[in-house]
Amino acid sequence: MKDIRNIVILTGAGISAESGLATFRGPEGLWEGHRVEDVATPEAFVRDPALVQKFYDERRANLRLVEPNGAHRALARLDSEWPGDLLIVTQNVDDLHERAGAKRVLHMHGELKSAWCLACDGRIPWVGTLSEGQACTDCGVAGRLRPDIVWFGEIPYGMDRIDRALMRADLFVSIGTSGAVYPAAGLVQTARYAGARTLEMNLEPSLGSHFFHESRTGPAGALVPDWVE
Ligand code: BJW
């Protein structure tokens, strides 16, 4: 990776698929069992909080059953060895990048293992199941915790930091994302505007694959370690 110093990597559900976590869209997609508007919007949470809490409780429980795969491990190795700036921007709410050892990770759509207290606006680690009415460990108020997840219509986390990293990036790499959800799907255009080389690695060409200089198709568990070597 000659002439490259600063790297931004965007990951999506496809990178965790080989660990056994369902992606969102497609035949085996997570949304097949749940209508997205029933579980991943602020309106759904107001309408049926128990359903939404149950959906996320189940996904948290499932996290304990899965392990990082070769793609997570390769990115963690790159993170630990890369001397320049590097930022892994993940849309995933799982913790597989961290469990593989990556440190420079930003969860733009939130994290399953975090709870957001609507009483004090604090973020606390999730313990037990939120649907049991766990109290906030900061303010002590019970029953006001929601999943710390960015739902449709909400502003993703860290957008300023992401924009700053993209403006300095020499290389932007997108892994395992369909390009269906904005603003994540538009990061490639910002990176190109800033002059970065852009590479996509996905099982199939994504909706935005024409925006990339290069598009490699195949499973992330094979493509990412090859690229990092
Ligand atoms: C493999 C593989 C293997 C499989 N190896 N690859 C109309 C037009 C444009 C935009 C909008 C619009 N109406 C509304 C909007 C905005 C909306 C949006 O984009 N909607 C679209 C659906 C149209 N966006 C928002 O509301 C966002 N907020 C926002 O825009 O605020 C305003 C704003 C403006 C400007 C700047 C800043 C803010 C918020 C979006 C929140 C998304 N939340 C979710 C749920 C999170 C919680 C949860 O997990 O439950 O995030 S939705 C869901 O989709 C989740 C994901 O992070 C996200 C992206 O999905 P991802 O990761 O791409 O997964 P898939 O399944 O789609 O794709 C997987 C890919 O992997 C596939 O291509 C496979 O082929 C591939 N793959 N196995 C490699 N082994």
Residue 2 pLDDT level (bands cut at 50, 70, 90): confident
Which segments within the chain are labelled E, that is strand?
7-11, 86-90, 105-107, 110-117, 123-125, 145-149, 171-175, 197-202, 214-217
| Model pLDDT, residue 29 | 61
- Model-level pTM? 0.96
109 is catalytic: yes
State the CB neighbour count (10 A cutoff) for residue 116: 17
pLDDT in tens, 79-102: 999 999 999 999 999 999 999 999
CB 184 within 8 Å of CB 210: no
36 vs 113, residue with greater confidence? 113
Give the Cβ contact number of residue 40 at 10 Å: 24
Domains of the chain: 1-21+68-109+155-229 (3.40.50.1220), 24-65+114-149 (3.30.1600.10)
Average confidence (pLDDT) over 202-207: 96
Distance 154 CA to ligand 1 centre (A): 12
Render pLDDT for 48-84 as a digit per residue (tens, 0 to 9): 888 888 888 888 999 999 999 999 999 999 999 999 9
10 C-beta closer than 6 A to ligand 1 = no
93 touches ligand 1 (CB under 6 Å): yes
Render pLDDT for 105-140 as a digit per residue (tens, 0 to 9): 999 999 999 999 999 999 999 887 655 678 999 999
| Rounded distance from Cα 38 to ligand 1 centre (Å) | 16
Report the chain's mean pLDDT, rounded to a whole number. Answer: 93
pLDDT recorded at residue 40? 85
pLDDT of residue 156: 98
Cα of 111 from ligand 1 centre, angstroms: 15
Kindly state if the Cβ of 152 falls inside 6 Å of ligand 1: yes
